[in-house]
Structure 1
Amino acid sequence: MTQPLARVLIHALADHGAREVFGIPGDFALPFFRHLERCGRLPLYTLSHEPGVGFAADAAARWHGGLGVACVTYGAGALNMVNPIAGAFSEKSQVVVISGGPGVSEGHRGGHDGLLLHHQAKTLDSQLQVFREITCDQTRLDDPQRAPVEIARVLRSCREQSRPVYIEIPRDQVDVPCDPVAALPPSPVEAEAVAACADEVMARLDRAERPVLLVGVEVRRFDLEARVGDLARRLGIPVATTFMGRGLLSQEPVPSIGTYMGLAGCPEISRVVEESDALLMLGVLLSDTNFGVSGERIDLRAAMLAADRAVRVGFHAYPDIPLADLIDALLDRAPVEPSVCAAIPAPALPRDLVADDAPVHPRDIAAAVNDLFDRAGPMPIAADMGDCLFTAMDMRHTPLVAPGYYATMGFGVPAGLGICAASGRRPLVLVGDGAFQMTGWELGVCARHGWAPLVVVFNNASWEMLRTFQPDSGFNDLEVWQFARLAEALGGRGHRATTRAQLRAALDAAHADESCFQLVEVMLPRGAISDTLARFVGAIKGANRPMGTR
């Protein structure tokens, strides 16, 4: 039976795996928001600014291994989300952008009676053209007869490519009758090619003396952690995650050795990965951050890489091989029973914080969090870009979302809210003072939605990661904002720590109170950076390659 086009789209989103919608209404989107609210199929969470909407939807998509949905208005709303969606594209996150748009009749007239239409940039198509650059598929639902096929195609693209897509719904089409969406079958895969590829991979692993499995973000994006964990146990080989894949397999009993970061990482982990004679990389993005700006330390000609629906085994290339199909084929060929892996101890993490009157160093934050997790159990982590993310590398292995490659600031707080909505769990949010100034105000919506994240603000009154690349600059200085005092005005509770003793007490008090969001502001001396960031900066300077956040 036909339904209004808006309802057809909402049901298609849910049928393809969406579980919630994040958004901010606007006049072009109001008709669609009305259907979202009345339909009730997907819960709607409104935030305060469109960048937060994009980051929250991205985090929810990462958590689910499925669709995250961001719904905004035309022009002033959607163009505010260009940066978050560009990040989702770079980091392969399944975000569906739903934008209200000018009505079909308005487009035919070039606006109201020939006048330019408000929110319009260069042309009425300018927004669509912008999103063509940062999404893998797009459609404008201006023909209700074609809409079901268009919706099905775009949502399949989002799932198969694990990248954002863009759907624009003209405001005068929202209530037009439309047939339901029939999901398209998966794109065809050549079974013989998958089999040949899996045979070659297994042959290389069988011949190897030092095989290693390196897992990356696609394993999470396609919801493959359980299957990859099973494969790792049955192969009995050491497992490392990439920087972007930190937190992967944290709930799987696998022989994990930690996170590989090249020159920026732990030397023991780097040695195991780089000396492997059969390095199998599953879902790994070949980026400078993942490889600690030292990609040449791994001979990709001798490695095996499965990513972007293709597999490269040395000089052999297998196109159109989805990661899930390869993993299933490898499982068919792997031993049925788990194999014993030679013990390779993971590096010890900071623990047992000395709760004295000494000033706080980033490694103290890691130790305090690890102590908290040991006492009370782990929490999922949402980290912003900056030293807060590098400090997270010294925290207990737990599910983590972060902009490890695109490196945008402002991700952490709204991503934490995305985890709240997507999981129902309480996340730990790690954010620097500079990034908090961008999107930290989204905490003000927590009371409305019943969320109580625990937020740790690294406050050194500085864009400190940028300062590491240009120490003599004054433009990286920030004012000392009283974030702990601001928490109450936003509906939460604030704690400030300037010593290690105060840090432990603040974390304990914040963790114990789930009545509202808790903000722990940790005052850090300028120049105090984590050991991981120090190695990362050293690696970049050694390679003479400028890099930073933003």
Structure 2
Amino acid sequence: MPQLAPHIFEMLYARGVEHAFGIPGDFALTLYDALADSPIQPVVMTHEPCAGFAADAYSRIRGLGLAVVTYSVGGLNMVNAVAGAYAEKSPMVVISGAPGVRERQEHDLLHHKVKTFETQKRIYEEVTVYATILDNPLTADLEIHRALDYALTFKRPVYLEIPRDMVYADIQELEHPPPPVKRTDRGALLEAVAETVEMLREATRPVILADVEVHRFGLQEEVIELATRLGVPVCSTMLGKSAFPEGHPQYVGIYNGEAGDPRVRDIVEQSDCLLMLGVFMTDINLGLFTAHLDPSRTVYATSERIVIRHHEYTNVLFEHFIRELAARNDLPRFDPSTIEPMRPRVGPDEGRITMSGLLYELNQFIDENTLLVTDVGDALFASDDIQTREGTSFLCPAYYTSMGFGVPGVVGAQLADPRRRAVALVGDGAFQMTGMEIVTARKLGLKPVVIVIHNGVYGSLRAMGHENAEFVNIADIDYAQFACALGGCGVVVETAQQMRHALQASRHADRFTLLDVRIAPDDVSPALRRLGELFAGRLRG
């Protein structure tokens, strides 16, 4: 009979999980013993929120991530990061150690307990798609299979709590895996695809909006094939940036309603057949809901629902819809020669570095081996004018927008895809939250490039009509000196030439590189400038 925790770790390893992020604690020590004996490498972080962010980033690349924490003080400390993974559909597995079954029965007041022994599990029910306590050897294997099925089907986190006296418990293994949680109705699938093809045949200006779920479900190749066969323009949103390769000649840029590039906005909003594939209809993705999209001219396909014009098709899996549509042999063909590819709205600086110049130099540095992770604030909004080269090469928390994702995210991303050089673009406010995690990169021998936008303020809040507010100013730090103290290479950047030389030097560095890029507080990206105007207008009513 298999033992509980070793069985879970073997199943996760078989599904591509090679690293587990977390911090041990006394209720998780036995769990960590089992983890250390498994083929999965424990990665001990500095703080549980960082473990959650790293596991989230890892799962966005590998398709599944893992965080292992202790009871309450560890698990509850990580809730915000897991909430972000839930909101943005990142299928990470949270495994928490916990008081043993027997000691719960014998002692009511054990350390780390909050209200009841089930408090942590109930909280995690709000931020995961499946949560359970594995305290029964007869049903544990069924619960594990269900959890993984939910995580992989809905691309959301799941929670498994293991009492410490159950870690090595012999469990009854299922003879056959349980049926899948969701299935496609073949008839409904064919009708949905047929109606989509009919819309395309009637259209004169079709456009594909390829978004985050194309990435989450690993459908990039199918969408590239679909776009190439159709010959239509393709764009994305900030959350789904790089779901479609930005170097492709049919890719036109980021769509963000009134807050985005007017050229891209016109292409999307003037389309008479908009294929919205895996799109999150959020305020940040749609320029504070300034998007003007006519439902009668859209195909809206996500893992939640398939809606074509005003017809909804139930029991159709998103990935089945995309693959069936891409495989059709009766798709119409449009002329791609008139498509103008993405044009970043930034240029080089001659002297002192500006936000535009930073983005320009970053665009020159990025190649097919670059993996970019951004935090929130202007580091996120600037992505409108950052051009990546390969698909699945950009990660950001563009819906939940929790600060602190960038540095731990770049650690998770680098471990998930070690063949590429990971770059983090973060504001100084976000760096002050989780920047200490760069020491984990040093410990692991990773060599990310961390670019800190050093302007001394919460830039996005300041741009939203609060230029004179004292509470948007933050403490000043010499970030380059801080990086050197942690064993990395820290460089102060004040000119465009220094930026260019520092980026090139980072290619050959034998440790992590931090660029302390000193920008004026009122110098923001084109996207944040427009978004700030829209938001300030809303605040004024």
TM-score normalised according to structure 2 size: 0.95
For 1:491, give the aligned amino acid: G
Partner of 1:158: 151
Q: Tell me: CA distance 1:31–1:364, structure 2 relative to 1, closer, same or farther (3 Å).
A: same
- Unaligned 5+ segments in structure 2 are none
Distance 2:177 2:520 in 1: 55
Q: Could you tell me which of 497, 502, 515 is aligned with 1:520?
A: 515
* Residue pairs, 1:458-473, within 5 angstroms: 458-469=453-464, 470-473=466-469
Distance 2:268 2:331 in 1: 25
Query: Does 2:35 match 1:44?
Result: no
For 1:306, give the aligned amino acid: A
Q: Per the alignment, in what secondary structure is the counterpart of residue 490 of structure 2? A: strand
- Unaligned 5+ segments in structure 1 are none
* Residue pairs, 1:90-489, within 5 angstroms: 90-109=87-106, 111=107, 114=108, 116-180=109-173, 183-186=177-180, 187-250=182-245, 253=248, 255-335=250-330, 340-349=335-344, 353-356=348-351, 358=352, 360-373=353-366, 378-398=369-389, 399-424=393-418, 425-469=420-464, 470-489=466-485
Distance 1:334 1:235 in 2: 11
Distance 2:414 2:299 in 1: 36
Distance 1:332 1:507 in 2: 42
Range 265-274 or range 232-241, more displaced:
232-241
Q: Per the alignment, in what secondary structure is the counterpart of residue 370 of structure 2? A: coil
Distance 2:291 2:472 in 1: 32
How big is the shift at 1:107? 2.0
How big is the shift at 1:247? 1.4
What per-residue deviation string (whole Å, max 9, x for no partner) do you get for residues 518-546 of structure 1?
A: 00000111111111111112233345599
Percent identity over the alignment is: 36
Partner of 1:511: 507
Determine if contact 2:246/2:387 at 8 Å carries over to the other structure: no
Distance 1:300 1:17 in 2: 39
Determine if contact 1:231/1:334 at 8 Å carries over to the other structure: no
Partner of 2:78: 81
Range 76-85 or range 179-188, more displaced:
179-188
Determine if contact 1:353/1:371 at 8 Å carries over to the other structure: no
How big is the shift at 1:94? 0.5
Range 11-20 or range 277-286, more displaced:
11-20
How big is the shift at 1:504? 2.0
Distance 1:252 1:353 in 2: 20
Determine if contact 2:258/2:291 at 8 Å carries over to the other structure: no
What per-residue deviation string (whole Å, max 9, x for no partner) do you get for residues 420-448 of structure 1?
A: 11000221100010000110100111232
How big is the shift at 1:315? 1.2
What per-residue deviation string (whole Å, max 9, x for no partner) do you get for residues 279-313 of structure 1?
A: 11010011011111135511224311011332011
For 1:502, give the aligned amino acid: Q
For 1:432, give the aligned amino acid: G
How big is the shift at 1:468? 1.5
What per-residue deviation string (whole Å, max 9, x for no partner) do you get for residues 123-151 of structure 1?
A: 11110111011101111100011001000
Partner of 2:531: 536
Determine if contact 2:138/2:172 at 8 Å carries over to the other structure: yes
Range 295-304 or range 462-471, more displaced:
295-304
For 2:70, give the aligned amino acid: T
How big is the shift at 1:350? 5.6
RMSD between aligned residues: 1.9
Equivalenced residue count is 534
Range 250-259 or range 183-192, more displaced:
250-259
Q: Per the alignment, in what secondary structure is the counterpart of residue 507 of structure 2? A: helix
Distance 2:37 2:333 in 1: 50
Distance 1:522 1:251 in 2: 26
Q: Per the alignment, in what secondary structure is the counterpart of residue 345 of structure 1? A: coil
Determine if contact 2:260/2:384 at 8 Å carries over to the other structure: no
Determine if contact 1:233/1:254 at 8 Å carries over to the other structure: no
Range 328-337 or range 52-61, more displaced:
328-337
Determine if contact 2:306/2:314 at 8 Å carries over to the other structure: yes
